Structure 1
Amino acid sequence: MSRPTSTYRVQLTPDFGFAQVAEIAGYLRDLGVSHVYLSPILQATPESRHGYDVTDHSRIREEFGGASGFREMAQQLAAHDLGVVVDIVPNHMNTVNAQFWSVLRDGPASPYANWFDIDWNDGKVALPVLGDDVASAVDGDAGPVPDGLVVDGEVLRYHEHAYPYPGHYRLVGWRAGPGYRRFFDVASLIGLRVEDPAVLFATHEVIFWLLDEGLVDGLRVDHPDGLADPRGYLERLRDRAGGAWTVVEKILIGPERLPDDWACDGTTGYEVLNRVNGLFVDPAGQAPLIKIFADMTGQPSAYRPVMAQAKQEVLDLFFGAEVDRLARAASCDPAAVRELLAAMPVYRAYVVPGEPPPPESVEIVELAADACSPAVRPLVREVLYGSAEAIVRFQQACGPVMAKGVEDTALYRWYPLACLNEVGGEPDRFGVSVEDFHDFCAEMSPYTMTTLSTHDTKRSEDVRARLSVLSELPGEWGAAVAEWSSAVRFDPLLDYLAWQNLMAAWPISVERFTDYLLKAAREAKTAISWINPDPSYEQRLRDFAAAAVRQPVGEFAERIEPFAMSNSLGAKLVQLMMPGVPDVYQGNETTDFSLVDPDNRRPITYPRKPETSWDAAKLLVTTQALRLRRRLGGAAPYAPLEAEGTAAEHVIAFTRGGDARGRPLAVAVATRLPVRLAATGWGATTLTLPAGTWRDLLTGNSHTGRIPLAHLLGQYPVALLERHDL
């Protein structure tokens, strides 16, 4: 199996399956990637546009071309020297599947009873599907059936739902929690027990077959935090998958690091994304932008109280079943469970039943408890040293509360600079210094994934590049927003987020902008939510979106375009050339101004054709960097380079690789904070290259020794140099 030097993420859909991937093999080879990284490939619900709702682990998805189509695609890719990485979903599957049907029919006697993480507390599985038209819970036992439900032979039907009849389940109101562990708050996705070896094999049989046949080289593991034992799962996966490159979708907050004992090559790169993004954010913009935000919204100037309140709210809204189940396991008051979960700062504390908790884990839980009432102290003991069930249930509950409370609520409520509101991000942390970034790179795993955009990012890398400029122009930005808001206003808790995203995603259609704002408002839950719609509010939102698009927002975007382009190219070069395995999300080899899903999962047209100078420059940077990474190979050494002069803070530079004599083989140079730089220029600031002759892959110019940055970065705000005197 070959390890990737880079990957290209493709979102498979019924409209873009294996045959279409094979058709772009030549394009991807010429781009320079080594592996195509596919979204989930197993059979999912027929209409699924993402594939994380698997219904049958024994089949490759028919809509994509099935097993034969996959094999043909893999062979075509291999003919172009491209490997395959697949996204796997061990944590959950869709509830509409043959195995769960058997469990609902036969209960604990089903041969598949061990597949799912079910709460049999009252002897039946609670299924939250009933609408408000059915007054009370309905048992699956044979008996009187309320209006709205129909018995059709051995099937009980309710709207689009079907269940075995009779069976071991209760239908309850759709707002209630289910009688099983689910993915976050999604009742249609049921938790799998892959800690059971039989379940692991049954749900990974096709994946192991593809690995054994050499059709797949690597795995991206979705949501390991949901598993009962992620460390054990990864150990078993590596034992069976051999040398397959493996990364995990693990969200790390602040200084948090991936546990050393997880058998994988690293994460999918959100901690990298946030640090690269921070390089292009000016800390001086923090105070004025927070003031603009607080004045416009009336929200607090501090983020942490907003985050704490959001987590408490989602616990009350969505996670009553999970709280009650954990409270029973820990013999604690549910109020204490809610309090401690709301205070947890990370997605998992990495405690393993039967082992002494790591000091870092103890510190995390104790610090959270310090912010709580004394009532949580008994629970702290249970989740650190108690029963296996209490420890595991707490671990599995932390992630959903963080995801729904922070990612899907707080980040839509507190947004002084929306490019900081990313998965795993801390929106009150403005900027990352060059020194801190170099220190971070020095500690990176050489084969961890790096990324700037994914199918789950809140906004694409080029949208964030524009937003980063605002950190250097808070006064000008504040004046522009005040002007637009004087003409068009709607909801103080939404308007400022709307203006940021409208400008940064420009040009954007009214339809796309409206869809984004509807999702943002529902996630914020301050006026409407997914479960509490308000047709009047939603119509006024649509009217606002249509009126806002007519404001001169595009003029501001055009005004900052040179600076945004500099940030975009700089971030792209840094991500592609820093340690790790860089991923390019589909279409982001050129500019992409997408917002949160489903906007960022729109169809892509290939080959990508540059339409602007920004497009052309980004495609050039991406192509040359990816091709250079293939020549350098994996795990190339990294070393900082320091500029000298008054404008030295405006550059980040580093070397990669080493020949037999230890001499670097490549140099990457990127401009940062371009607005302030434009006011002063590079002046006499210089960069001294390592000994040798260097060719800039972007311009074709050759350089040696000490170079004025005004000369090196005269044509592009970035430079990519390769030694050519070997």
Structure 2
Amino acid sequence: MTAPGSNPHLPAPERRTPVTTYRLQLGESLTFADARALLPYLRQLGVTDLYLSPVLAASPGSTHGYDVVDHTHISAVMGGREGLEELAREAHAAGMGIVIDIVPNHMSVPTPAWHNPPLWSVLRDGTDSPYAAWFDAPAGDKLLMPVLGQRIGQVLADGELTVERLAVPTEPERGEQWVLRYYDQVFPLAPGTHDLPLPELLGRQHYRLAYWRVGDEELNYRRFFDIVTLAAVRVEDPEVFAGSHALILDLLQNGTIDALRVDHPDGLADPEGYLERLSRATAGAWIAAEKILAPDEFLPQSWRTAGTTGYDAAWRIDQMQVDPAGVRTLGALMRELTGNVPLDYARVSGDAKREIIAGSLASEVNRLVDLLHAFTSRDLYLSDHTFRDLRACVVELLVAADRYRAYVLPGRQADPEQAAVLRETAERARATLDTDQYPTLDLVVAILLGEQVGAGEPSDTPERAEIITRFQQVCGAVTAKGVEDTTFYRWTHLTSLTEVGGDPAGFALPADEAHAWAQRVQHDWPATMVTSTTHDTKRSEDVRARIDVLASYSSEWVELVHRLRDLTAGIRPADMDGVTENLLWQTLWGTWAPGSADPMTGERLGAYLIKAAREQKSWTTWTAPDTVREDQLAHYAAALLARADVAEELNEFAALTARAVRDTILANKAMTLTWLGVADVYQGSEVTRTSLVDPDNRRPVAYAGAAGLQTALERVSQAPTDAAMSLDDAKLRLTSQLCRLRADRPDTFVGSRSGYRALPTTTACAFAYARLLDEEADVVVVVRRLGRRLERLGGWGNHTIVLPQGKWTDVLTGAEVTGGTRLLGEVVGDEPVAVLARPRADA
């Protein structure tokens, strides 16, 4: 474990700390064997660690691996345990580590159910199952399985349920079993019930089959957000932790894997306790947590983790390239296209949360209010707080929450900072309640904080503990579904800002705020992760960069949209939704990449827009799709890509903004690779990609062949610096140069010896910092920002930067630079970024 007095957020000295990871999305199209073939390329690129998507056995046909069905087996599709071990051996021989993504919060409810052995056991044996404590549902209750296409009475009348004998592949030792079949769905039968009449047979099972629409209101197991096919597990139970982590821990202990990324810890009952247990069980391995932070939120200091997976850095990198001058012009266009849609971000977010609370997460909210009402009804002093008032207060607290959750542990006094989060949330909620409900709100907050209420019943009862925990878990789910999966598709002011963990209401980010944030994170979390594109980002880093540039060309953009609308008025759907249309134009531009090896297609663009519209939940939804209007939207999008007049207009705008787009893409990549901690390169993002939200961002990457990345890297590694180099080649070259720099100077970028210092410049168009080694500047980074503003001001002119004293070498150009006060034009010149390294004596 970490030595006494050292930073608790660093891995133990004997554990590997990644420096630069390369994220691979494994599956049928990218197996362990395929990953092995990439090792020479990744080593040449400068990568130090492979970062693998979940590798445990997942649902049949899974394209992502987060739908785990069996914690005791490595995915056979990927190559099984033998394939993983062989990949690890070759990676380690090449000096590279292995980071694995793990999923502690949930398991898949697959079709058929027997693919998940613990779930199959619970469905068959109920409380007698050895896995009875695994799933987060009321003890002894029948698990609701909302899988029927119509109500149960009609299903029975139509004879759609059958009883049959089946050899279950996951339990070969049992031979044939009696099962209940509903088309592709298969469920086990409780022993001795197979020969009962169907109605009686159904009543004797440990589960209840139901019409799929029943799930939102009556589902009784906790899910991952509102996904019925992902059932939460109670990893806070030591036996569940042991059973679900044994294989991963064995792989760590025997040296097959080196570090972990933890998916969605906010879904857990006790994230802090889980991370503490995981850190102990791994003997202090490097662990990154996928924690979504509010703009003014930092990770709790008590968490035993290296930091986040990097969304908090990603949106800040983007927003530093957004010109605040564009806010009103782009807002006016949003108002013009969307009509009566509210233009107050907080209102849009609040409305979306209320819809989620009343809709897909109604069962979770109902369960929480039922618990509160039962708790207060038992105490005479509290019994006059009605169900209606309790529900109103819970709803308003959930709507008012400005972060995923607070962290209050049942039976412990609430941390003052976390208590303040809840109290501030309550004050925002108070403004929406009747004055007669204020006492109920105060009571609910007191209960959630573990304070004594009423007749003085002990505050650490199981009932109180469940209320405290459930509220925090529901709060995270409502925030995720209401904000990131609804509001972020409705708020189209500048869509590059509606990224995971982002702050679209903030629009642009001043340099001073970015420096202050980075200095604090570096001090507390020197091995955190910084990323720019992931499997979860709604747009790739390059798509976001192109959209960022619109804030600098807002007037020209508005004129272009008006021309495009006029040109295509004859084919635009007559009832096209304005929010969707504004999203369409920005997406069309963000993915417009003339000459790119990754061009947008009509099929991909149409599929994305349909998904986005369903997430908006305004005129079409996942559960009630308006397929006619969706088809019209997809056809319109495909027609836009096919029309020569549209292409001509977009190409002219691309020519106008080419310098800004190029500079933004390269500057942002340089920051991702040098700003803080462990840098992550998502597969294929070493060149430009037009990727949109999943599954689009999980498309295969072309590594081999004449046009593949391996050939391209060999070409650009030999080529001299050339301003005429294609953007793809320039980005690949930059990525490789900086990855290699990181590999050569790991302690400068990651860990206890690394540091961060803002460097003063006389213009806001330069963002500069030094990465420190033992408190001394070792690498200096200067990036160009707000390039069009800089052009209008006549360039760098007499603006200066104060470099640390001494001799420096520009890593990207080879030029020699002397420290002190220097003209920015001499240091950066016409490039988007300068990276200076202090010469080493052993170089």
TM-score relative to the length of structure 1: 0.95
Contact 2:279/2:285, CA 8 A, preserved across alignment: yes
Alignment of 1:161-560 (within 5 A): 161-166=185-190, 167-177=205-215, 178-298=219-339, 299-331=341-373, 332=387, 333-372=390-429, 373=433, 374=437, 375-385=440-450, 387-444=464-521, 445-488=525-568, 489=572, 490-506=576-592, 507-549=599-641, 550=643, 551=646, 552-560=649-657
Using the TM superposition, give the Cα deviation of residue 173 of structure 1 relative to its aligned residue in structure 2, in angstroms: 1.7
CA distance in 1, matches of 2:264, 2:655: 39
Q: For 2:766, give the aligned amino acid.
A: V
Residue 106 of structure 2 is aligned to residue 88 of structure 1: no
Using the TM superposition, give the Cα deviation of residue 145 of structure 1 relative to its aligned residue in structure 2, in angstroms: 7.4
Using the TM superposition, name which of 217-226 and 296-305 deviates more. 296-305
Q: For 2:622, give the aligned amino acid.
A: W
Using the TM superposition, name which of 454-463 and 275-284 deviates more. 275-284
SS in 1 for 2:411: coil
Using the TM superposition, name which of 336-345 and 479-488 deviates more. 336-345
Question: Residues 596-633 of structure 1, C-alpha deviation per residue, up to 9 Å, x if partnerless?
Answer: 11111100111523796211221122112121122222
Aligned match of 2:756 in 638, 648, 651?
638
Contact 1:339/1:376, CA 8 A, preserved across alignment: no
CA distance in 2, matches of 1:422, 1:36: 25
CA distance in 1, matches of 2:652, 2:611: 26
Contact 1:59/1:67, CA 8 A, preserved across alignment: yes
CA distance in 2, matches of 1:487, 1:359: 59
Question: Residues 334-356 of structure 1, C-alpha deviation per residue, up to 9 Å, x if partnerless?
Answer: 34333322221111111111111
**Matched residue, 1:675:** 788
SS in 1 for 2:632: helix
Using the TM superposition, name which of 149-158 and 419-428 deviates more. 149-158
**Matched residue, 1:99:** 118
Using the TM superposition, give the Cα deviation of residue 290 of structure 1 relative to its aligned residue in structure 2, in angstroms: 1.2
Contact 1:137/1:173, CA 8 A, preserved across alignment: no
Contact 2:492/2:579, CA 8 A, preserved across alignment: no
CA distance in 1, matches of 2:145, 2:761: 62
Q: For 2:232, give the aligned amino acid.
A: G
CA distance in 2, matches of 1:620, 1:434: 27
Q: Do the aligned partners of residues 403 and 136 (structure 1) sit closer, same or farther apart at CA in structure 2, a change above 3 Å counting?
A: farther
CA distance in 2, matches of 1:4, 1:224: 21
SS in 2 for 1:681: coil
CA distance in 2, matches of 1:708, 1:412: 43
Using the TM superposition, give the Cα deviation of residue 371 of structure 1 relative to its aligned residue in structure 2, in angstroms: 3.1
Question: Residues 181-226 of structure 1, C-alpha deviation per residue, up to 9 Å, x if partnerless?
Answer: 1111111111111111111111111101110011111100001011
Residue segments in structure 2 that go unaligned for 5+ positions in a row? 1-14, 166-177, 191-204, 374-386, 451-458, 593-598, 717-724
Using the TM superposition, give the Cα deviation of residue 566 of structure 1 relative to its aligned residue in structure 2, in angstroms: 0.7
CA distance in 2, matches of 1:41, 1:512: 27
CA distance in 2, matches of 1:334, 1:434: 43
SS in 1 for 2:77: helix
**Matched residue, 1:152:** 164
Question: Residues 100-124 of structure 1, C-alpha deviation per residue, up to 9 Å, x if partnerless?
Answer: 1111111112111011111357x31
Residue 770 of structure 2 is aligned to residue 690 of structure 1: no
SS in 1 for 2:480: helix
Using the TM superposition, name which of 366-375 and 238-247 deviates more. 366-375
Contact 1:128/1:171, CA 8 A, preserved across alignment: yes
Contact 1:136/1:172, CA 8 A, preserved across alignment: no
Identical positions, percent: 44
Question: Residues 527-566 of structure 1, C-alpha deviation per residue, up to 9 Å, x if partnerless?
Answer: 0010011121112112221232222334323431210111
Q: For 1:305, give the aligned amino acid.
A: R
CA distance in 1, matches of 2:288, 2:655: 39
**Matched residue, 1:718:** 833
Alignment of 1:506-655 (within 5 A): 506=592, 507-549=599-641, 550=643, 551=646, 552-606=649-703, 608=709, 609=712, 613-633=726-746, 634-635=750-751, 636-644=754-762, 648-655=763-770
Question: Residues 461-508 of structure 1, C-alpha deviation per residue, up to 9 Å, x if partnerless?
Answer: 111111111111111111111111223343212101100011111141
CA distance in 2, matches of 1:712, 1:370: 50
Contact 2:234/2:240, CA 8 A, preserved across alignment: yes
TM-score relative to the length of structure 2: 0.82
Q: For 1:700, give the aligned amino acid.
A: G
Using the TM superposition, give the Cα deviation of residue 135 of structure 1 relative to its aligned residue in structure 2, in angstroms: 4.7
Using the TM superposition, give the Cα deviation of residue 684 of structure 1 relative to its aligned residue in structure 2, in angstroms: 1.5
CA distance in 2, matches of 1:105, 1:146: 25
CA distance in 2, matches of 1:391, 1:696: 54
Using the TM superposition, give the Cα deviation of residue 146 of structure 1 relative to its aligned residue in structure 2, in angstroms: 5.5
Contact 1:291/1:301, CA 8 A, preserved across alignment: no
CA distance in 1, matches of 2:50, 2:761: 36
CA distance in 2, matches of 1:274, 1:392: 29
Contact 1:693/1:725, CA 8 A, preserved across alignment: no
CA distance in 2, matches of 1:90, 1:678: 50
Contact 2:407/2:472, CA 8 A, preserved across alignment: yes
- The number of aligned residues is 714
SS in 2 for 1:683: coil
CA distance in 2, matches of 1:171, 1:137: 12
Using the TM superposition, give the Cα deviation of residue 459 of structure 1 relative to its aligned residue in structure 2, in angstroms: 0.4
Contact 2:757/2:772, CA 8 A, preserved across alignment: no
CA distance in 2, matches of 1:356, 1:725: 52
Contact 1:137/1:171, CA 8 A, preserved across alignment: no
Using the TM superposition, give the Cα deviation of residue 713 of structure 1 relative to its aligned residue in structure 2, in angstroms: 2.5
CA distance in 2, matches of 1:280, 1:613: 22
Contact 1:149/1:156, CA 8 A, preserved across alignment: yes
SS in 2 for 1:691: strand
SS in 2 for 1:422: coil
CA distance in 1, matches of 2:652, 2:107: 46
Using the TM superposition, give the Cα deviation of residue 228 of structure 1 relative to its aligned residue in structure 2, in angstroms: 0.8
Contact 2:143/2:221, CA 8 A, preserved across alignment: yes
RMSD of aligned residue pairs (Cα, Å):
1.7
Contact 1:640/1:654, CA 8 A, preserved across alignment: yes
SS in 1 for 2:72: strand
- Runs ≥4 residues deviating over 6 A: none
Question: Residues 22-42 of structure 1, C-alpha deviation per residue, up to 9 Å, x if partnerless?
Answer: 111111111112110000000
SS in 1 for 2:449: helix
SS in 2 for 1:526: coil
In terms of Rg, which structure is larger? 2
CA distance in 2, matches of 1:247, 1:208: 16
Residue 227 of structure 2 is aligned to residue 130 of structure 1: no
CA distance in 2, matches of 1:217, 1:614: 35
Question: Residues 360-411 of structure 1, C-alpha deviation per residue, up to 9 Å, x if partnerless?
Answer: 2222222222233225333222222261000000111111111111111111
Residue segments in structure 1 that go unaligned for 5+ positions in a row? 139-143
**Matched residue, 1:141:** none
CA distance in 2, matches of 1:292, 1:54: 44
